[in-house]
Amino acid sequence: QHLIDHIDLNISLKSEDEVEEACKSFTTLIQVSVWKSTPEVSSKFPFNTVNIPDAIQKKVAEKRRLRAKWHDSRLTADKQAFNKATMAIEVAALSRQRAMEEAIAKGDSNIQKFYCNSTVFLTGGSGFLGKQIIEKLL
């Protein structure tokens, strides 16, 4: 629609410069039309980073950078830095998981407060995750 609204069909094409300018403006018009008609995508994987703290996301980015550096150089020092970053992520993730489990064990979790006097039906499609939720809530 943008292309139809903005295209100029009354262009003089007698000289090389006019043809060149017309081609340039037509190409730009096509690009703008495509950009406007393409839907915006906020993230390729929108659900992967929702509950991950910024500190852990930064550590993951640093680990990826170190892995690329080690992959290029194959130096022992780079491998050690990469392994150290990997362990730091594991420690941070485990400490976060322990904190969540302690909150659930105390009964402080929002999930328990929300479902404390409710009946929850889990269908067969819930599988392993459903079993884990039930064990934590009971």
Q: Is the pLDDT of residue 1 over 60?
A: yes
Give the integer Cα–Cα distance in Å for 66 and 9: 55
Higher pLDDT pick, 84 / 33: 84
Give the integer Cα–Cα distance in Å for 66 and 79: 8
Percent of the chain with pLDDT over 90: 25
**Can you give the residue range of the structural domain that contains 15?**
2-37
Shared domain check, 126 and 92 = yes
Shared domain check, 68 and 133 = yes
Shared domain check, 58 and 33 = no
The model's pLDDT over 6-58, given as tens digits with 9 standing for 90+, comes to 787 888 888 888 888 888 888 888 888 888 887 776 655 554 545 778 888 89
How many domains are there within the chain? 2
Q: Is residue 96 part of a domain?
A: yes
Q: Is residue 74 part of a domain?
A: yes
Within 38-137, residue ranges assigned H as helices are 54-73, 76-106, 110-115, 127-137
* 75 φ, ψ (degrees, to nearest 5): -85, 145
DSSP 8-state class, residue 46? T
Q: Of 10, 6, 11, nearest to 28 (Cα)?
A: 6
The model's pLDDT over 87-127, given as tens digits with 9 standing for 90+, comes to 999 999 888 888 877 877 776 666 666 666 666 665 555 55
Q: In sequence order, which residues have a C-beta less than 8 Å from that of residue 87 and are 6 or more positions away? A: none
Q: Of 36, 34, 29, nearest to 6 (Cα)?
A: 29
Shared domain check, 70 and 15 = no
Shared domain check, 23 and 63 = no
